Amino acid sequence: MTLHADIDASKLPDYSYDFRSPLWWGIVGLMTVEGTVVATLIASFFYLQGNHTAWPPAGTSPPELLLPTLSTVVLLVSMVPVYLTDKAFKRGDPKPLAWMPLISIALALVFLGIKAYEYASHVDFRWDTHAYGSVVWLMIGFHSAHVIAVIFKTLVIVYLARRRYFTPEKRIAVTVNGLYWYFVAAAWIPLYMTIYLGSRIWS
Amino acid sequence: MTDSASIHHDDEETRQLERTWASPPGFFAWFTHVNQTNIGMRFIVTGFIFFILGVILALLMRLQLAVPENDFMDPETYNQVFSMHGITMMFLFAIPVMEGFAVYIIPLMLGTRDMTFPRLNAFGYYIYLIAGVMMYAALLLRIAPDAGWFSYPPLAGASFSPGLGLDFYTTVVTFMEISALVAAIELIATIFKCKVPGMSLNRMPIFVWAVLVMSFMIVFALPPLVIASLMLALDRMAGMHFFTAASGDPILWQHLFWFFGHPEVYIIFIPALGMVSSIIITFTQRPIFGYIPIVLSIVAIGFIGFGLWVHHMFTAGLPQLGSNFFTASSAMIAIPSGVQIFCWIATLWGSKPKLATPLLHVLGFFLIFIIGGLSGVMVASVPFDMQAHDTYFVVAHFHYVLIGGAVFPLLGGLYYWYPKFTGRMMSERLGKVAFWVTFAGFNLTFFPMHKLGLEGMPRRVYTYLDGLGWNEANLFISISSAVFTLGLMLTLVNVLISLKRGNIAGDNPWNADTLEWATSSPPPSYNFRHIRTVDSRYPLWSGTGGLEQNPVVTGIRSDRREILLTSILESHPEARQPLPGPSPWPFWLAVATAITFAGLMAHLAIPLLGFVLCFIAITGWVWPKRLGVAK
C-alpha cells in the first residue's frame, strides 16, 4: 500500500505555549469549575440573606473593614512577583524563577496570618451560630484551602527551578502555575466584596 | 517537505509503537494503565455493572408493589432500595457510561493516539470506582441513604435522618462528581487540540459536537452539586445552618440541587443524541440532513437546559412570575429537540435504511422519547404539575425520557460500536429479538404508570391499600418489568457470547463514515498506525478512493508517547505533545481524595490528613523522572 505524506511533524516543536497548549485549557477548565463554586457560594449567601430581617442576624456585629481590606491588598500585591517571573521567563531569563515567587509566598502567608488572627479573635460568631456564620466560614475555609494549595504548588515549582528543571520549552508549567495564582487571588475579590461589603450595605 | 513522496509500512516502526504504547501486564500494573481505550472500556463495563445492580433494585421494588399491603420489604429497606436505585442510575450508571463511550470513541473519531491528560483520565475512573463500591457496601450493611436520590432537607438533615446513611450520600456524592468534572475538562481539551489536520470545527462528527456540549454542561452544572452536598454534609456533621429550618433554608438545597439536576438530564441525553446521529448516518448511508441546524440545536439545548430547573419545584411555593418563566423555558426546549427529530426524519426519508439492530434502537428511541416529551410538555404547565407532582405520572414521564432518550440510544450505540470494541459482531438475530422484547417490556411497564399517577398513586411509598383500584395495574406492571428485564438480559447474553462466537468484524463492518472505523478492530494501543488528514465531514466516504487517498502526517515520534496538536478552529498542525506513560499516582490520588471526603464521616480532622495525602500524591504525580537534564 502506498501512502502520501504531506505534513512532516518532526519539524514542528514538541512543546507549546499559552492557549496552544492543552495544559492551558486544562487550567482554564479547572478555574471555570472553581469559579462556578465561588458563584454558588455567593448566590447562597444572598439567598440566605433573604430569609433574615437583619444580615448579619441580630446579635452579630457587622464585620470590621480595616484588617480584611489590608489583607486583601497584600494578596493582590502577591500577584506582581508571579507576573514578573513569568514575564522574565518569556524573555528567556529563568533566574527570577528561583527566588521571586518566594516573595509571593511570603505575602500569601501574611494574608493567611491576618485571616487566622481575624477569625480567631475578631469575629463574634461561629460556623454553627447561624446561617450567616455557616456561609461566611465556608467561604473563608474554601478560599484559605486554595491559598495553602497554591503555596505548596509554587514551592514545588521553585524547588524544581533551583534544580534547573525548567528549560524554556517547559515554560507552560510556570505559566499555568501563575494563572492559578492569579485565579486564587482574584477569586478573593468577589468573596471579599460579598462578606465585608455585602454584609454592611444590606445590614 | 516530503510532499507526494510515498512511504511504506515499516514493520520495525510498528513494533516500536507497540512497545511505546503498551500497557504493562500483571495485577498491580493494572492500577497504572492510562491508555484511553483501557480507561474508556473500564468506564463502560463498570457503568453497565452498576446498571445491572440498579435493575435488580428496581425488580425488588416491583416485587414489593406487586400486591397491596405486601410485607416482602419493610419500609426502611424499601426507602434504601428506591434511593439507591436513583443514585445508581443517575450517578453510577448514566454519566459514567456516557463518559466511557466518549473517552473510548472521541480520540478515535478525532484520529489521534490518546487524550491530552491520560493520567487524569485514570484518576477519574478510580474516583468513580471507589465511590460506587462505597455506596454498595453501605447498602449491603443496610446503612445506605434513604431519602431519595435528591435527598431533600429537612428529611435529609441530621434530626430526621440520623445515622450514617445520608452521611454516605453527602460525602460520596461530593467527591464522586470530581470524576465527571475531570473527564469533561479532558474531553474539551482533547476535542479542541487533537483533531487530525483538516478536521476543522465545521467538519467535526456530530457525536463529537454532542460530547463537547455535554462536557461544557458538566463544567457548569456539577460544581453547584459538589458544594451543595458539602454544605449538607457540614449541616449534618458540624452543626452548620445552610438548610436547617432554624436559620438556613431547605429550599436553597432544592435550587442548588436542581440547578445541577436538570442540566444533568441533558448531560445524559445530549451524547445519546450524538449516537443517534452517528447511527442514522451509517445506516442510511447518506450525509445527515441539516448538519448546521442539528449542531446549533445541540448547543441551544446546552444553554436552555440551564434555565429549567425550577420546574422541579413548582409545588415548593415560589412566586407566580418565576413559575411562569420556567413554564415558558420548559416548553421552549421542545423546539431544538424537534428540529433534530425532523432533521433525522428528513435523513431517513426516501433512503433505504438498513434495519439493523442499532437503527431499530434509534427508531424505538423516537417513539418512546416523543411520548416522554409530550408528557413533559404536560408537566411543564404549573396547574397540571400541581396535580401530578410526586405521583406515578412523573415516574412514567422521566422513565420515558431517560430510558427512551438515553438507554435506547445507548443500547443502539453498544450494538453499533461493539465490533470496534471487540473485533466481533453481535448476533443480529438475537439482537432483534432482544430489541422487541425490551421495547415491548418497557412500554408495558411504564405506560400504565401514567394511569396510576393520574389516579393519585404516590411515588416512593412502600405499599398501598387494597380496594383503591390499583391492584390490577400494579400486578401488570410488575409482570411487565420482568419482560423488560428479560429483553435486557438477552442483550447481555448477546454481549457475552459474541465475545467468543461473534463473526469477525473487520475494520469497518457497517461501512460507516467516521475515523474510528479507519483502524483495526479492536484498535491497537496507539489507535492509528498513520495519522491521516481529512478533507470532508465524511472522511471514509469522500472521493473515489476514500481515506486511502488522503495524505498522512509523518514525523511523530514512535519511541515515546506523542500526539499531534492542531489549532482549534481550522486544525492546522501546531506542535507535537509528549504524553506521560503508566503511573500508579492517579490511583493513590483517588484514594487520598476518598479519604479526604469520606473521612469526614468518621472525624472532622481526617480531611486535614487527606489534604496532606492529596498534596503528596499530586507531587508524586507531577514529579519529573529525571532532574537536572537542562543544559
Give the 3-state secondary structure of residue A156.
helix
Chain A residues within an 8 Å CB radius of B248 = 48, 51, 131, 134
C-beta separation of A158 from A100 below 8 A: no
Closest-approach residue (CA) in chain A for B562 = A14
Q: Which residues pair with A7 in a beta bridge?
A: B553
Task: Find the residue in B nearest to A164 (Cα).
Answer: B628
Cβ separation B192–A25 shorter than 8 A: yes
B chain contacts of residue A138, beta-carbon cutoff 8 Å = 230-231, 234, 240
Output the pLDDT for position B39.
96
* B613, B616, B617, B623 alpha-carbon torsion, rounded to 10°: 180
| Mutation target vs A (from B114, B528, B577, B631; most A CBs, 10 A cutoff) | B577
The shortest C-alpha distance from B576 to chain A (Å) reads: 4
B416/B422 Cα distance (integer angstroms): 11
CA atoms within 13 A on the CB side of A102: 9
**Which amino acid is residue A123, in one-letter code?**
V
Task: Summarize pLDDT for B473-532 with one digit per residue, the tens.
Answer: 999 999 999 999 999 999 999 999 999 999 999 999 999 999 999 999 999 999 998 888
Q: How confident is the model at residue A198 (pLDDT cuts 50, 70, 90)?
A: confident
Ordered by where they begin, the domains of chain A are 63-197 (1.20.120.80)
Q: What is the predicted pLDDT for the residue at B11? A: 83
- What's the pLDDT score for residue B546? 59
Segments of chain B scoring below 70 in pLDDT: 1-9, 543-548, 626-631
Length of chain A equals: 203
Burial B229-262 (b: 16+ CB within 10 A, else e): bbbbbbbbbeebbbbbeebbbbbbbbbbbbbbbb
pLDDT at A52: 86
Distance from CA of A58 to the nearest CA of B (A): 12
- Looking at residue B131, what is its pLDDT? 96
Neighboring chain B residues of A21 at a CB cutoff of 8 Å: 193, 565, 577
- Pick B555's closest partner by Cβ from A11, A51, A138: A11
Buried residues in B65-86 as b, exposed as e (16+ CB within 10 A): bbeeeeeebeeebbbbbbbbbb
HEC profile for B314-383? Answer: HHHCCCHHHHHHHHHHHHHCHHHHHHHHHHHHHHHCCCCCCCCHHHHHHHHHHHHHHHHHHHHHHHCCHH
pLDDT in the model for residue B543: 59
pLDDT at A3: 59
Total residues found in chain B within this entry: 631
DSSP H or E stretch at residue B6: strand B5-7
The shortest C-alpha distance from A16 to chain B (Å) reads 6
ipTM: 0.93
Residue A200 to residue A139: CA distance in whole angstroms: 17
∠ Cα B500 B436 B393 (to 5°)? 125
Pairing of strands B562-566, B531-532: unpaired
**Residue B385 identity (one-letter amino acid):** D
Would the CB atoms of B3 and A156 count as touching at under 8 Å?
A: no
User: Which among B190, B575, B628 has the least Cβ separation from residue A14?
Assistant: B575
Show the cell assigned to A187.
Answer: 477569586
- Say if B608 is an interface residue toward chain A (CB within 8 Å): no
pTM summary value: 0.94
Q: Which residues of B314-349 are buried (b: 16+ CB within 10 A; e: fewer)?
A: beeebeeeebeebbebbeebbebbebbbebbeebbe
Distance (Å) from the alpha carbon of B332 to chain A's nearest alpha carbon: 25
Q: Is the pLDDT of residue A170 over 50?
A: yes
User: By C-alpha distance, which of A186, A167, A194, A203 is closest to A13?
Assistant: A167
DSSP B7-31: E---HHHHHHHHHHHPPPPSTGGGG
Q: Is B285 helix (H, G, I), strand (E, B) or coil?
A: coil
Average predicted confidence (pLDDT) for chain A:
90
B residues 94-123 lying closer than 8 A (beta carbon) to A = 116-117, 120
Angle (CA) B209-B213-B218 rounded to 5° is 145
Sign of the alpha-carbon dihedral angle for B364, B493, B425, B415:
positive
Question: Residue A1: its pLDDT value, please?
Answer: 45
